[in-house]
Structure 1
Amino acid sequence: MITKIVLAIGGLFVAGMVLLLVVFGWSSSNAQQTNGECSMLIIERKIEPANAATEHRRACMASRG
């Protein structure tokens, strides 16, 4: 009986860790994709000064969450 409880708690812990890793992986992937899209917009719009490009990227990233 105690063994089943310990295994159930261990299984829940492992499942929680896997879920946490999946969520963080998806979030990181989404941020990288958004950063790439914003970088492409800077290139397409030919925003030259570094400070203007930085402000544009910051505004673009903020608008996309």
Structure 2
Amino acid sequence: MPIDDDLRVEITDADVRAAKQDWLTARDSGVPGIGVDAAFWLYARLISTQAQQLAETFRAAHRRA
């Protein structure tokens, strides 16, 4: 599937760490369940997206080799 580089957003380790911290803060500070769920959803999406990016980079590197 082709990727439109104008729409691509790179997810960094710092993005994932920040989302995890937001989720843990929401969980531990008594935020209503829906807020905790939303923070966890974002954290999980960032992990998944970053994993896909790493896989694409790996595949691209091995195609050129």
Q: TM-score, normalised by structure 2?
A: 0.52
Residue 16 (1) aligns with residue 46 (2)? yes
Report how many residues are paired: 35
Query: Once the 2 structures are TM-superposed, how far is the Cα of residue 33 of structure 1 from its aligned partner?
Result: 0.3
Question: Which structure exhibits the higher relative contact order, with contacts defined as CA atoms closer than 8 Å and separated by 6 or more residues?
Answer: 2
Query: Once the 2 structures are TM-superposed, how far is the Cα of residue 3 of structure 1 from its aligned partner?
Result: 0.0
The equivalent of 2:62 in structure 1 is 32
- Superposed structure 1 runs of 4+ greater than 3 Å apart: none
The equivalent of 2:36 in structure 1 is 6
Higher helix share: 1
Whole-Å separation in 2 of the counterparts to 1:10 and 1:2:
13
Whole-Å separation in 1 of the counterparts to 2:32 and 2:62:
45
Q: Where does structure 1 lack aligned partners over 5 or more consecutive residues?
A: 36-65
Per-residue displacement from partner, 1:3-31 (whole Å, max 9, x unpaired)?
00000000000000000000000000000
Whole-Å separation in 1 of the counterparts to 2:32 and 2:42:
15
Q: Where does structure 2 lack aligned partners over 5 or more consecutive residues?
A: 1-30
Bigger Rg, which one = 1
* TM-align CA RMSD: 1.1
